[in-house]
Amino acid sequence: MYYYLRKFIAMFFTIIIVTLITFFSFEIIPGDPVLSKLGIDADEAQIASLRAELGLDMPIPVRYIKWVGNILKGDLGESVRFSLPVYDLIKTRLPVTFSLMIISILITLAVGIPLGILSAKYNNRIGGFFINFITQIFLAIPSFWVGIMLIMIFGVILKWFSPGGYVSWSENPAESIKSVILPSVAIALPNIAIVIRYLKNSVLEQMKKDYVRMAYSKGLNSFRVMKNHVIRNAVIPVITVLGMIISSVLAGSLIVEQVFTLPGIGRLLISAIGNRDLPLVEGMILYISFTVLFINFIIDILYKFIDPRIKYD
Amino acid sequence: MKKNFNLIFGLSVIIFLFVFMFISLFHTPYSPTEMNIRERMQPPSAEHIFGTDQFGRDILSRVMEGSQTAFFVGFVAVSIGLIFGTFLGAVSGYFGGITDEIIMRIMDAMLAFPVILFALMFVSVFGVGIKNTIIAIGIMSVPSFARITRSGYIQHKQFDYVKSAKAMGAGPLRIMFLHILPNVISPIIVAASMGFSTAVLSEAGLSYLGLGVLPPSPSWGRMLNESQIYISKAPWFAIIPGIFITLTVLGFNFFGDGLREYADNTEK
Amino acid sequence: MKKSIIFLSFILLFLSVFGSSLTVRIPQNIDFLDPHKAAASGTDEVMFNVFEGLLKPDSQGNLNPAVAENYTISQDGLTFKFFIRKNIKFHDGSYVTPDDVKYSLERLSGLDGGPGYNSAMISTIKSVTADKNDNSVTVILKTADTNFLSNFTKAVIPRHNDQYQNSKPIGTGPFKFISYQPDQNILLEKFKDYWKTGYPKVDKVEFKIISDEQAALLSFMAGNIDIYPRIPAQMLDILGNNIKIISGGQNLVQLMAMNNARKPFDDIRVRQAVNYALNKDEIIELAALGYGTKLGSNMSPVMAKYYQEGLENYYSTNTEKAKELLKEAGYPKGFSTTITVPSVYQFHVDTAQIIVEQLKKVGINAKIELVEWGVWLDRVYAGRDYDTTIIGFTGKLSAYDVLKRYESGYSRNFMNYKSEVFDNMFKKAYAEIDDKISTDLYKELQVILTEDAPAVFIMDPNFIIAMDENIDGYEIYPYYVQDMSTVYFK
């Protein structure tokens, strides 16, 4: 119990540090949110009135404390660029990034687990060589380039879809999935490779164990052995890589949303940083760091739950 | 001994790319920045093996020059990560206790933060350009080196040779870097090779977002950024730089795996 | 016979249910829905369809009555009286009253106790009075201003919507505002009670926000977009057959600005040398594929009335001359400088790359520095901290507004251009009541700019619009506007 409490407090502090750094770095960043919003043809009167409206004249520590105070009240503030509540902006973008993440994780597992098991089973010279090569390539290909190539093949040559046309889940579920499937593939490739490699090693390790040898000596066929003993034990460690995969999917979606012009969190964040939209950036940093840390926390618990042999000091 | 395919393949790719880069220091078929109206968007041909871009610049020459960027970014960023990461990891692992706790919590926080996101913020604060790209990528590669070094030190500080060195009155710095470091260096070198590919990928990603290397200097990521609006017209422009990024990352990953295998075999 | 009537009515029913809907691509988000707070030209181009002022500009650059039916100006030029159009309605169905006009003008000029949103109006308007009896509004100015009329194009909005101006904007334009989804779209719907009968012609307009050109192109080719304004010239030859392309000057001045207060550009010979070093034809060919008009001063030929011809070849490319001038100025070996470019504008980034190559030939070693838009505005435009930069000035309604940028006292004279001759003549042109004389003076001012070379005036890139071949009625405006009221399906 003490362990979780400590972890939880560490998580809390990490979030405070991250938001604090973001807040103060925006003070030294060159660039002006008001000018950025209003552009080259802005009238001085418009600039002055917006500055006053946003309260940008207050000192930074005061604004940070105010911001934290509002967070505790459940108010994330209002975006400078969009003049809309930060919460609403994040809420409308979340489903896009979320469906990207879920679909790419599903693809990762659906392809990675069978291939990982197969690669362990056929771990002879040619099979091993082949799998090794494929996974290496998956790891080496930059996801945004895969994205460009997928657009080229499916968008330009085959004309199966048109990028930038994101369809929301509530509008049309089938179209919605269609619009995120290619970006999800682009994100999934390196993660598939990670799962395959991890699972292969884990299966091979299990196969060396005594209970597997026993099972074989009892005359069970290799399929049954695999199914009943090895896989069940080998899949467990995959959960540890899941945390890594989730944060890599999150980072991947940052760039891939740009490639496919999907209106997700990543694109919102990049444009918010570009527009010096501090309330929006802070809101999203808060959200992202919380998600990543929380998922890692959950996986930690999950892992301990599944495999009680692991002890924490 | 079994043939170490990974090592051989990785090394050959790296050597090929290195030679490619080395030649570009002295000679490229055309000037990588010179523009030519009449040669715009030429598909691959005998004169331009990889074709030309929207300004009529020779893509082969630009890809060659771009390899300098990739190697430079990879080398410097990994050096930053290696030096600081090894030092922090050594301190953390050797001393343990509260020092270890503080350093490792910071490293964990950094690991949880996506590299691209950090680089994005870093570049907004300090400005777009190759220098800041390298520093950002370098900083983000510190934790992985620190972790690997730390685990080596935790293991080795209990060994007899360390204890006897201590008994002979050697200072902690001397023990850390003269006695232990040579014994834990092989996983660090493996990590360096992997770190190199991560650095190349990150640079490409940042330059693709328009936040890395500045034009007109050729960078593979930057070329991809410029090529994207021409994919229907000049697909080669988008294909070639991607192949080179993949090849470089592939080479260093294979090399890293090969090194690990080699180290494991010699240990046994 | 009967069958065909049924068939026809079926079609009519079908049309009335689904209506005609247009999808137009725009690259950026809106800054404010509230028209008085909005400043970005990207907002204007969309909301031009929603809001109208007392007057409204047309595609020829004339100011026509809109919310006002007609107006009178007193002899001394101090009193403007506007008669509100009879039975003109806001989008919510309420009639436009003189009080609403008064509210709008006072809100803009800060007479309502608020901050005010238009500095010209803040400094010039003395009072606004509404008269219910003859349905008129009278505006009295503090000082006479020949150029003031164009300020009355600012939107007239209803007083009763004061609180919701930025969330549910209401205007009198041909289209009603329906919704805005950042990074996705802006939906407009036909305003059935629009005062100009017969307009608009389509029932719905969707402005689709797609920032990426490649994505926009693929969407357009897939038929998800009907009108693709400002399509990059590089994409034209892949569009295929059943597409209509309109192209014309867009009254934009793309220039390479030099910081006239900073070494070495404080020396006119250096600035002229840069002008001789650059090859504008090559830039137009490489960056715009030839779709651009070469300029010689800060005026596009679209402003036909004011445009001074013959300046575009004043500095024809001459490497030798450039080198000579640099030598005279004390830079026989050239020098190093930085071109600061806003990274959002790929067109300017491309231009910068070409310029770097061209400057190399005269020994000037230029480095590109990419900055975000907010940084550019803050550091370069407002802070004037830069060597050189590349930017485009969007079109204005009057020559006065175009050339104001070079007046030494103007707050956004970011090139730090200072010329007494220019200032005096500019004042004279502004005060001149005789149109012919003032027009000649504005032309003379362009010559001064060319000679003093505060910048390299490069080109007016063409405004190229690609659209479905069944679309007709699209009009090109000399400023940042997409007027959808005249557009229809054939």
| Best CA proximity match to C264, nearest among C336, C324, C322 | C336
Residue C158, preceding bond cis, omega within 30 degrees? no
Is there a contact between C285 and B37 if contact means CB atoms under 8 Å apart?
yes
Contacts of A26 (CB under 8 A, 6+ apart): A276, A278, A281
Percent share of chain A, pLDDT over 70: 88
| Best CA proximity match to B82, nearest among B138, B30, B22 | B138
**Residue B19 is encoded by which pair of tokens?**
């030679």
As for how many domains chain A has, the answer is: 2
What distance in Å separates the CA atoms of residue B255 and residue B265, rounded to the nearest whole number? 15
Pair A254, A157 in one domain: yes
Task: Compare C22 and A240 and report the one with higher pLDDT.
Answer: C22
Pair A213, A99 in one domain: yes
Contacts of C489 (CB under 8 A, 6+ apart): C20, C202, C470, C471, C472
Q: Which pLDDT does position A312 carry in this prediction?
A: 44
Asked if C356 and C470 touch (Cβ cutoff 8 Å), the reply is no
Q: Which residues of A touch C375 (CB under 8 A)?
A: 30-31
Q: Which pLDDT does position C332 carry in this prediction?
A: 93
Beta strands in C242-333 (DSSP E): 243-249, 253-258, 292-294
Is there a contact between C117 and A52 if contact means CB atoms under 8 Å apart?
no
What does each C-alpha distance from C52 to A49, A308, C23, C35, C91 come to in angstroms?
A: 23, 71, 22, 10, 12
Buried/exposed code over C354-368 (b: 16+ C-beta within 10 A; e: otherwise): bbbbbbeebbbebbb
Is there a contact between B232 and A156 if contact means CB atoms under 8 Å apart?
yes
Contacts 24+ apart (CB under 8 A), A200-207: A200/A116, A200/A119, A200/A120, A200/A123, A200/A131, A202/A234, A202/A235, A202/A237, A202/A238, A203/A116, A203/A117, A203/A120, A203/A121, A203/A230, A203/A231, A203/A234, A204/A120, A204/A123, A205/A234, A206/A230, A206/A233, A206/A234, A207/A120
Q: What is the phi/psi pair of residue A124, to 5°? A: -85, -170
Q: Which residues of A touch C411 (CB under 8 A)?
A: 44
Q: Which pLDDT does position C16 carry in this prediction?
A: 46
| Best CA proximity match to C376, nearest among A41, A280, A40, B225 | A40
Is there a contact between B112 and A129 if contact means CB atoms under 8 Å apart?
no
Q: What is the phi/psi pair of residue C256, to 5°? A: -105, 105
H-helix or E-strand containing C137? Answer: strand C136-141
Is there a contact between B54 and C370 if contact means CB atoms under 8 Å apart?
no
Which chains share 3+ C-beta pairs under 8 angstroms with A? B, C
Radius of gyration of chain A (CA): 24
Q: What is the pLDDT of residues A147-177, one digit of tens each?
A: 999 988 888 888 777 665 677 777 777 777 7
Q: Which residues of B touch C350 (CB under 8 A)?
A: 54-55
DSSP state of B178: I
Strand partners, A53: none
The interface residues of chain C toward chain A in range 129-168, judged by CB-CB distance below 8 A, are 166
Pair A67, A166 in one domain: no
Task: Compare A32 and A108 and report the one with higher pLDDT.
Answer: A108
Q: Is C127 helix (H, G, I), strand (E, B) or coil?
A: strand
| Best CA proximity match to C292, nearest among C221, C211, C230 | C230
| Best CA proximity match to B71, nearest among B195, B200, B253 | B200
Q: Which pLDDT does position A122 carry in this prediction?
A: 79
Smallest Cα distance from C366 to chain A, Å: 23
Smallest Cα distance from C59 to chain B, Å: 31
Verdict on whether the full-model pTM lies above 0.95: no
Would residue A220 count as lying in a domain? yes
Is there a contact between B35 and C238 if contact means CB atoms under 8 Å apart?
no
Residue A164: CATH number of its domain: 1.10.3720.10
Question: How many beta-carbon pairs below 8 A join chains B and C?
Answer: 63
Q: Which residues of B touch A142 (CB under 8 A)?
A: 201, 204-205, 208, 242, 245-246, 249
Q: Which pLDDT does position A272 carry in this prediction?
A: 87
| Best CA proximity match to C401, nearest among C48, C37, C53, C57 | C57
Domain ranges in chain C are 2-29+180-248+464-489, 51-164, 253-461
Smallest Cα distance from A9 to chain B, Å: 12
Single-letter amino acid, residue A254: L
- Identify the domain boundary among A72, A106, A131: A72
Say if residue A215's pLDDT is above 80: no
Say if residue A307's pLDDT is above 70: no
Strand partners, C83: C70, C136
Would residue A151 count as lying in a domain? yes
Expressed in percent and rounded to 5, the helix, strand and coil fractions of chain B are 75, 0, 20
Which of A139, A254, A258 faces B117 most closely, judged by CB atoms?
A254
Would residue A82 count as lying in a domain? no
Residue A35 forms contact with C (CB below 8 Å): yes
Smallest Cα distance from C118 to chain A, Å: 6
Is there a contact between B37 and C354 if contact means CB atoms under 8 Å apart?
no
Q: Which of C31, C208, C340 is the best mutation test for A, with the most CBs of A within 10 A?
A: C31
Query: What would the mean pLDDT of A230-239 be, rounded to a whole number?
Result: 71
| Best CA proximity match to C35, nearest among C186, C156, C187, C160 | C156
Would residue A311 count as lying in a domain? no
Architecture per CATH, C253-461: Roll (3.10)
How many CA atoms within 13 Å lie on the side-chain side of B253? 24
Asked if A147 and A256 touch (Cβ cutoff 8 Å), the reply is yes
What does the pLDDT profile of chain C (490 residues) look like in tens digits?
555 655 555 555 454 445 688 999 999 888 899 999 998 888 989 999 999 999 999 888 788 999 999 999 988 888 999 999 998 999 999 999 999 999 999 999 999 888 889 988 998 999 999 999 999 999 999 988 777 888 899 999 999 998 898 889 999 999 999 999 888 899 999 999 999 989 899 999 999 998 888 888 888 888 889 999 999 888 887 887 789 999 988 889 999 999 999 989 999 999 999 999 999 999 999 999 899 999 999 999 988 889 999 999 999 999 999 999 999 999 999 999 999 999 888 899 999 999 999 999 999 999 999 888 888 998 999 999 999 999 999 888 788 889 999 999 888 899 999 999 999 999 998 888 788 898 999 999 999 999 999 999 999 999 999 999 999 999 988 888 899 999 999 8
The chain A residue lying nearest C225, using CA atoms, is A165
Q: Which pLDDT does position A313 carry in this prediction?
A: 39
What distance in Å separates the CA atoms of residue C350 and residue C327, rounded to the nearest whole number? 29
Residue A296 forms contact with B (CB below 8 Å): yes
Pair A119, A55 in one domain: no
Q: Which of B13, B122, B231, B260 is the best mutation test for A, with the most CBs of A within 10 A?
A: B231
Smallest Cα distance from B112 to chain C, Å: 27
Pair A226, A106 in one domain: yes
Tokens 């992997």 belong to which residue?
B194
Chain B residues in contact with chain A using a Cβ-Cβ cutoff of 8 Å: 5-6, 105, 108-109, 112-117, 120-121, 124-125, 127, 197, 201, 204-205, 208-209, 224, 227-228, 231-232, 235, 238-239, 242, 245-247, 249-250, 253-254, 257
| Best CA proximity match to C44, nearest among C481, C395, C487, C486 | C481
What distance in Å separates the CA atoms of residue B206 and residue B203, rounded to the nearest whole number? 5
Q: Which residues of C touch B232 (CB under 8 A)?
A: 217-218, 235, 238
Beta strands in C271-320 (DSSP E): 292-294
Smallest Cα distance from B244 to chain A, Å: 10
The chain A residue lying nearest B223, using CA atoms, is A145
What distance in Å separates the CA atoms of residue B82 and residue B138, rounded to the nearest whole number? 9
The chain B residue lying nearest A250, using CA atoms, is B114
Pair A141, A261 in one domain: yes
Would residue A84 count as lying in a domain? no
What does each C-alpha distance from A222 to A115, A217, A219, A226 come to in angstroms?
A: 17, 11, 9, 6
Pair A106, A179 in one domain: yes
Is there a contact between B210 and C343 if contact means CB atoms under 8 Å apart?
yes
Asked if A105 and A249 touch (Cβ cutoff 8 Å), the reply is yes
CATH classification of B60-267, choosing from 1.10.150.120, 2.40.160.40, 1.10.3720.10, 2.60.40.10?
Answer: 1.10.3720.10
Q: How confident is the model at residue A66 (pLDDT cuts 50, 70, 90)?
A: confident
Q: Which residues of C touch A41 (CB under 8 A)?
A: 39-41, 394
Would residue A118 count as lying in a domain? yes
Residue C201 forms contact with A (CB below 8 Å): no
* Residues with pLDDT less than 70, chain B: 1-2, 112, 267-268
Q: Which residues of C touch B214 (CB under 8 A)?
A: 367-370
The chain A residue lying nearest B243, using CA atoms, is A141
How many other CB atoms are there within 10 angstroms of residue C320's CB atom?
9
Strand partners, C456: C256
Query: Where does residue C216 fall: left (phi above 0), alpha (psi -120 to 50 degrees), or beta otherwise?
Result: alpha
Q: Is the dihedral of CA A91, A97, A99, A102 positive or negative?
A: negative
CA A120 to chain centre: 28
| Best CA proximity match to C479, nearest among C186, C171, C153 | C153
Is there a contact between B121 and A25 if contact means CB atoms under 8 Å apart?
yes
Which of C214, C368, C370 faces B229 most closely, judged by CB atoms?
C214
Q: Which pLDDT does position C9 carry in this prediction?
A: 55
CATH fold for the domain made of C2-29+180-248+464-489: D-Maltodextrin-Binding Protein; domain 2 (3.40.190)
Residue C385 forms contact with A (CB below 8 Å): no
Pair A123, A40 in one domain: no
Residue B235 forms contact with C (CB below 8 Å): no
Which chains share 3+ C-beta pairs under 8 angstroms with C? A, B
Pair A156, A271 in one domain: yes
ipTM of this predicted structure: 0.88
Residue A39 forms contact with C (CB below 8 Å): yes
Is there a contact between B128 and C368 if contact means CB atoms under 8 Å apart?
no
Q: How confident is the model at residue A222 (pLDDT cuts 50, 70, 90)?
A: low
Architecture per CATH, C51-164: Alpha-Beta Complex (3.90)
Is there a contact between C116 and A260 if contact means CB atoms under 8 Å apart?
no
Question: How many beta-carbon pairs below 8 A join chains A and C?
Answer: 132
Contacts of C478 (CB under 8 A, 6+ apart): C59, C61, C249, C250, C251, C300, C302, C303, C395
Residue A164 forms contact with C (CB below 8 Å): yes
Q: Which residues of C touch B55 (CB under 8 A)?
A: 286, 350, 353-354
Which of C32, C41, C210 faces A83 most closely, judged by CB atoms?
C32
Pair A149, A12 in one domain: no
DSSP conformation letters of C100-123: HHHHHHHHHHTTTSS--S-HHHHH
Q: Which of C217, C375, C401 is the best mutation test for A, with the most CBs of A within 10 A?
A: C375
Pair A62, A125 in one domain: no
Residue C215 forms contact with A (CB below 8 Å): yes
Domain that holds residue A8: 2-72
CA C424 to chain centre: 27
Q: Which residues of A touch C215 (CB under 8 A)?
A: 162-164, 260-261
What distance in Å separates the CA atoms of residue C316 and residue A279, rounded to the nearest whole number? 50
